[in-house]
Structure 1
């Protein structure tokens, strides 16, 4: 495993849509392992492949109830609303209020190509939506309705 560099918001790769993963191979598994290691070192909740310079539809997250690896993720349905402060490893020192669904159903594949669905709520839903946005080239800063200083958050 290796810790990868996290690209910042100035990098144009973060505004590009990612390609669908078609090969579920050792290279994909290595990317996912590296992303988890990078996420852990950065003390983040989620990390999308474009944040480490790879335009593939992959994200990893761990919001405290276990690791999730999502390849070719799709948010199938959403319900409710929540408004809370978000940050991003690619946008250091930027924080702001974003409204997201309170619950969602995620469909994705694991590193071996096995399809799964999971129902997420609150922080898990927020994180999955944030990371899925990255895969579509959308930074959270475009969704912020009020920027805040971290000590205000």
Structure 2
């Protein structure tokens, strides 16, 4: 993916957050020191009701489009994503996991509202990786399914903050794993696609059950058709991508 240009911010300004905020937050997280919550996203009108979608929803395979503008409605979506993430007891949530085909994700390694650091990464790019580390992962779009995933131990990544500033940071540990997991989502890749064949075989019955449930709900008219999903994606992309 080519590098996205600067973000276009509307007149509804979010709380100013400089490079030092993100760098200090990331440093604390990397060292395992989770302080009190510092909110990056200002409150906004929530004009879209979101919910976490489950595998094999087509949007999860969609390569998300870079965000070109941030407005009050998008900030409302971001705030709602944090609420959904906490309710599902997660630590990261990508936009396409709530059906939004845009390149951003939210993250809080504490996994609880009022704790840790709430971070928003817009148009993230991983430019360099080093080392290797295997650990168990799960996914809010495949709740209850877990498996080992081998990933680089350290990554250099860059992203935009909600106020339009760009930053670059080297991270490791759980922070690096979460960044890679969520960035994969934005590229249409789920963690089960990173698992080795033997490990995937062990959880295949659970994955198959999600596919059966999806098809049943679709046949009952309880999930949108591919045409409806595409129309919604086109509307969102026309406004923000």
Contiguous gaps of at least 5 residues in structure 2: 1-42, 111-115, 204-241
Question: Quick check: which one's strand share is greater?
Answer: 1
Alignment of 1:115-126 (within 5 A): 115-126=166-177
Number of matched residues?
Answer: 149
> Is the counterpart of residue 63 in structure 1 residue 109 in structure 2?
yes
After TM superposition, where is structure 1 displaced by more than 6 Å over at least 4 residues in a row? none
Task: Give the structure with higher Rg (CA).
Answer: 2
* Deviation readout 1:66-125 (Å, 9 max, x if unpaired): 222100000121111100100000012211110011111220011121111222111000
Tell me the equivalent position of 2:141: 90
Q: Quick check: 128-137 or 72-81, which moved more?
A: 72-81
Q: Cα offset for 1:143?
A: 0.8
CA distance in 2, matches of 1:68, 1:101: 21
Q: 1 or 2, which has the higher helix percentage?
A: 2
Distance in 1 (CA, whole Å) between partners of 2:169 and 2:80 is 23
Once the two structures are overlaid, the 10-residue window that deviates more, 43-52 or 30-39, is 30-39
* Matching of residue 106 in structure 1 with residue 157 in structure 2: yes
- Asked whether the 8 Å contact 1:18–1:50 carries over to 2, the reply is yes
Relative contact order (alpha carbons < 8 A, sep ≥ 6): 1 or 2 greater?
1
1:9-67 Cα offsets, whole Å, 9 max, x none, are 12111001001100122122112111111111111010000000100001011113522
Length-normalised TM-score, structure 2: 0.59
